[in-house]
Structure 1
Amino acid sequence: MFDLAHESFAKHRDSFFLEESGGVFIVSEALLENERDDIQKKKEFLYEQRQEVLEVAKQRVLDDIRQKDLERHGALGIKRDLSGVMCMTCEDESVDRVFLFPICEEAHHYACLECLGSAVENNNLLVCPMCREKGDSFGMDEYRKAIGGNEEGGLMLSALVTQLQTPDSFSLTQDLPNETILLTNHTTVTLSNVEISVKLFLVLLEKTKVTVGGRFSITKHVRNEDCIREHDMAINRPFCLKRNEVVSKLALENIERMPSNSIGCSFEEIDLDNTGLINILPKLGIHEDIDIGYLLLDADKKEHVAAILTQDQLFCVSGVKRITLREYTVGVVTKIRIHEDCGVEHLRLIANKEEHVAAIHIQDQTIFRRAKNIYLGDYSMRILPKMRNNEDNKVESLWLVASKEEHVAEMREQKQTIYVERVKNMELHGYAVSILLKLRIHEDFWARWLWLDADEKEHVAAVLEQGQMICVGKVKRMDLWGYAVCILPKLRNNKDNIIEEFVLSVREEQISKILGEGDSNIEIGRTRLGGFKVPGEVRRKLRCTLFDEEKETTASDGEFVKTVGGEASGMGD
């Protein structure tokens, strides 16, 4: 039996919404009941037709089997006996008018029409276990031929199509008409003073001409619940807006016509991946009282964000905790407005191609005054000069990662200095280490951790070519990994600062430049002895004051001195 509730994608009271290639059906269950007797007669007729067609195929298979048996056994021949044969799935026997059909060409096993139909409809595999490896799907193939396009659902809808209405305009309200309606791409659907489920909204967006009137909102879709409600209830039902499919041209046209901030909504998360639906963001009027846990946007094609990047409209995500923008959506960062009383916990931008950040170059504006943890990958590092942190806010962590030199080449050539004075933890990886020359860190600013990581010589070549010193302020922990150790002579620590942990992690081939320095030639400053972790062959090249239990000693003459119980003992070679 055709299950209207199962076939529909949304319901409201006794009406159901069905998505078809030609548009969206609105079908009343009461109206469908009136057609059920006529449909049942058509079903019985169709069943008999299918059985007749399959009987021909069945006898052909059995005749082939008898012929093979005749060839094997001569005149004796063996006639197949169907007595005791049953459906492999439901175990109905070939009695009481139950029609059984062989599911393989060897007729090892059989299935009834109901089970065959269910398998085909649900895309389940119903094959003979003895012939599975040969790929024999005879039963299902023949059933598909027999039914053609005459599915039961098609009968139900065809019975309604004869009396459906296809209006040029339709106002969607809670009181749906008691007749079959087909909304097509020629139908203008007005959404005003109403709240609908996000599922219904997205289907209408794809299939019809949508016009947004006043007081309209979208909310969470819950199957078997009414999809149309009183307006402005969305704040009570935040949901996850997720899409990873390309939208139709009609949907993009609908989005373009919508006024800014015209769609009331509340979100738990927004996850839009390679879809033109990203362009709807400025049209959303997101409730400021509901925090968004995560905003994730990703687009490998410019057209997915073209509309939003060419508009001056901003969209507010005042309570978002985490933001990740990848590829072309990195440019969307210029369109996001964060409420002045709110801050982003994590901001992550990744751009692998230069064109991904092209839209940002033409923008003369400050980006994100309140972000606590910032990750900039590859070309997205070019955004750094535009990021001005709020005076009352300190950045907990700043990660800069560049895998290719071209990611940072433009930044190194610019005369502009980049201020990062209120960053507590800073990590630079790969070619990002080379922009240390452009960073301005005030010598009196206290930082918790500086981590420089360079796997290749080329990562630090630009720094080594320059003669200038680099101020790192009052850093409490300093980690230099790989070839980043080579720039150690250029780092200047505040003379009043005490480094709690000083760590060098290198391989032998990465310290040849340091070993070429004179003994005690590299000034480190004041350091805690307990946090001093430096390979032995490098120690003699450093000059620093070590602290241990409030007692101070100074390294000299190529040796480090450790205070133990008030007495000095050598730590040199």
Structure 2
Amino acid sequence: SRFAVRILPELVFHGENVVEELVLDVDYPDRITKILKILGKKNNNTLDWMGKVKRLELKDHAIKILPKLRFYEENVMEVLRLKALGPEYMAKILAAKNKSIRVGKVKRLVLSYHAVGILPKLKFHREDVLEELELEAYNSEHTTEILNTNDNSIGLGKARKLGLCGYAMEILPKFNFHREEVLEELVLSSMLIECTPEIFRMENNSIWVGKVRKMELNGYSVEMLPKLRIHQENVLEELVLSSTLIEYTPVIFRMENNSIRVGKVRKMELNG
């Protein structure tokens, strides 16, 4: 039932209960009003009632619950996924201050569509355990909010993998890659050249990504390779370039030979 989400505050779980997966999908605002009122009261925290949660997915209006939730101190979520198909689902939450929404300990964070804009608003647990961050944006409107932030202003913490898909690739210059931190894997994917109009106009070697162990560029993102600036002491364990159509690389094939610096590479895989 579309109204089933309203029953959530009424449920009482065992103190040692572990919820493997919780998905809340709310498409109309009135269906989340009751929960928001209850969660607004002191000591009423939905996830406390349910014990520990391994995977949490909030869709559309359900994302409004996020600032109200208080997670168990020892709880470590394997996956937190936020998805908002329309801007109306994010309007109020994007008005919050940066780093004001606590999300506790999360290993993998996936933000899709308009939910991408919430990233600067999130505050992770002091014992940061974030291993993987994935951003998926398929329309220029999905990244409007986050592109207003300053370059090098979004920290990755201890994240070991960063994946940017579609228009989310435009966000890459906004990340602050620490010079001594090592990113285990950087994955960029774009099947439409319209997804990255601004970033392709940037100068070569202008986007700092620091130290990276594995880099994978798919589709039009292969064109990003000359734009990336890697730490001079970096050793790429693996470089994967996948471009099945010549249309994906209109610029890179016109560049002079030996003009793209990739540094030290142990393994290279070329597909397409």
Q: Does 1:399 align with 2:134?
A: yes
Give the structure 1 partner of residue 5 of structure 2.
278
Taking the TM superposition and a 5 Å limit, the aligned residue runs for 1:46-195 are none
Q: 1:480: Cα distance to partner? A: 0.4
Letter in 2 for 1:302: P
Cα distance per residue 1:173-231 (max 9 Å; x no partner): xxxxxxxxxxxxxxxxxxxxxxxxxxxxxxxxxxxxxxxxxxxxxxxxxxxxxxxxxxx
Kept after mapping to 2: 8 A contact 1:442/1:471: no
Give the structure 2 partner of residue 526 of structure 1.
264
Letter in 2 for 1:429: C
Q: Does 1:494 align with 2:231?
A: yes
How many angstroms apart in 1 are the aligned matches of 2:68 and 2:94? Answer: 14
How many angstroms apart in 1 are the aligned matches of 2:116 and 2:230? Answer: 25
Q: Does 1:419 align with 2:152?
A: no
Structure with the bigger percentage of helix? 1
Taking the TM superposition and a 5 Å limit, the aligned residue runs for 1:530-549 are 531-534=267-270
How many angstroms apart in 1 are the aligned matches of 2:190 and 2:127? Answer: 33
Give the structure 1 partner of residue 32 of structure 2.
305
Give the structure 2 partner of residue 477 of structure 1.
214
Cα distance per residue 1:409-466 (max 9 Å; x no partner): 2211233721113211121111111111211121221122111001111112121233
How many angstroms apart in 2 are the aligned matches of 1:316 and 1:300? Answer: 20
Letter in 1 for 2:45: F
Give the structure 1 partner of residue 177 of structure 2.
441
How many angstroms apart in 2 are the aligned matches of 1:413 and 1:524? Answer: 30
Taking the TM superposition and a 5 Å limit, the aligned residue runs for 1:373-388 are 373-388=108-123
Q: Does 1:293 align with 2:31?
A: no
Kept after mapping to 2: 8 A contact 1:421/1:441: no
Letter in 1 for 2:114: Y
1:320 match: secondary structure:
strand
Letter in 2 for 1:510: Y
Q: Does 1:515 align with 2:253?
A: yes
1:435 match: secondary structure:
helix
Q: Does 1:503 align with 2:212?
A: no
Q: Does 1:457 align with 2:190?
A: no
Kept after mapping to 2: 8 A contact 1:281/1:315: no
Q: 1:388: Cα distance to partner? A: 2.8
How many angstroms apart in 1 are the aligned matches of 2:165 and 2:223? Answer: 14
Q: Flag the 1:473–1:285 CA change in 2: closer, same or farther, 3 A.
A: farther
How many angstroms apart in 2 are the aligned matches of 1:474 and 1:369? Answer: 27
Give the structure 2 partner of residue 321 of structure 1.
54
Kept after mapping to 2: 8 A contact 1:295/1:320: yes
Kept after mapping to 2: 8 A contact 1:348/1:374: yes
Kept after mapping to 1: 8 A contact 2:230/2:262: yes
1:340 match: secondary structure:
coil
Letter in 2 for 1:509: E
TM-score by length of 2: 0.88
How many angstroms apart in 1 are the aligned matches of 2:271 and 2:60? Answer: 41
How many angstroms apart in 2 are the aligned matches of 1:285 and 1:470? Answer: 49
Letter in 2 for 1:512: P
How many angstroms apart in 2 are the aligned matches of 1:471 and 1:377? Answer: 24
Kept after mapping to 2: 8 A contact 1:309/1:359: no
Contiguous gaps of at least 5 residues in structure 1: 1-243, 245-273, 537-573
Q: 1:286: Cα distance to partner? A: 4.3
Give the structure 2 partner of residue 430 of structure 1.
166
Structure with the bigger percentage of strand? 2
How many angstroms apart in 2 are the aligned matches of 1:423 and 1:380? Answer: 19
Contiguous gaps of at least 5 residues in structure 2: none
Give the structure 1 partner of residue 144 of structure 2.
409
For the pair shown, the structure with the greater C-alpha radius of gyration is 1
Among all aligned residue pairs of Structure 1 and Structure 2, give the percentage whose two residues are the same amino acid: 30
Letter in 1 for 2:202: Q
Q: Does 1:352 align with 2:85?
A: yes
2:119 match: secondary structure:
helix
Kept after mapping to 2: 8 A contact 1:442/1:473: yes
